[in-house]
Amino acid sequence: AHSGGDGDGDGTGALTVHKMCSCKDGIDHMEWSPDSAFVLCAMYKRQEVAIWAVDAASTWTARISEGVVAGLVHARWAPDSRHVLTVADFQLHCSVWSLTSKTVYYIKHPKFASAGLAFSRDGRYMAILTRESCRDFCSVYATASWELVSKWAVAMDDARDIAWAPDASVIAVRGDPLSYVLQCYAPDGKRLHELKAYEHALGIKTMAWAPSGHFLAVGSFDARCRVLNHLTWRAVATFEAPAAVDGRRVNFFREVLDNGGDLAVFGKA
């Protein structure tokens, strides 16, 4: 749908149907392509993915099927908007489908359906966690040809997720929540640093790179966020997020609706 018309004076505009497409079964997941030209609709029970062009005048469509044997548990776009990644049931393989050449590439034994996969900011490389022979590996692929660039064994018992640095120079790997383990690797597999902030307690919950790539924020179950410097890998700041917030330096806000009920005004409580 898109906004059209002059609206009714409230600034919202009128919504009209731009294009309507129908799928063969219930839609479990829907996702826009990064260039906003296509819409992906995944039907996991049917093991199919339907793709539609957003242009109202276009009749182009595509259908991807993993087959009854393999099954389908996840589907997502690649950054170039011309490839679709699907993961088979039981993480048997990750399939990379090309919408232009109609070819498919297979990556065996991805460890997770949706986690453990990340693209570099420029979209040139993809890193994915795989599980082989009871060991975790990190593989880096060049998205231009989907050829394997590097592959190495991750030096931890249970890797859970990865994150590219914005300049694609570092891949951060975090371990399972039962222990605090964070490792940073170069794309060729060289280990740059390992962080273990504490032991015998729940570990890392999430992590995120700063847009500049100079800092890595690591959130853990001890209600702290540690900000690491990308050169020294030391914590330059530690922020606490306690369950109960008090103190005079903290501003609390409440949402107040005006009489019309359609505008939100924020004021200090």
Summarised one tens digit per residue, pLDDT across range 205-257 is 999 999 999 999 999 999 999 999 999 999 999 998 777 766 667 777 777 76
pLDDT band at 7 (very low <50, low <70, confident <90, very high): very low
In this prediction the pTM is 0.83
Amino acid type, 39 = V
Structure-block tokens of residue 187? 């794309």
Structure-block tokens of residue 106? 């297979």
Q: Which domains does the chain have, with CATH numbers?
A: 155-269 (2.130.10.10)
pLDDT tens sequence across 193-217: 999 999 999 999 999 999 999 999 9
* Phi, psi at 92, each rounded to 5°: -65, -40
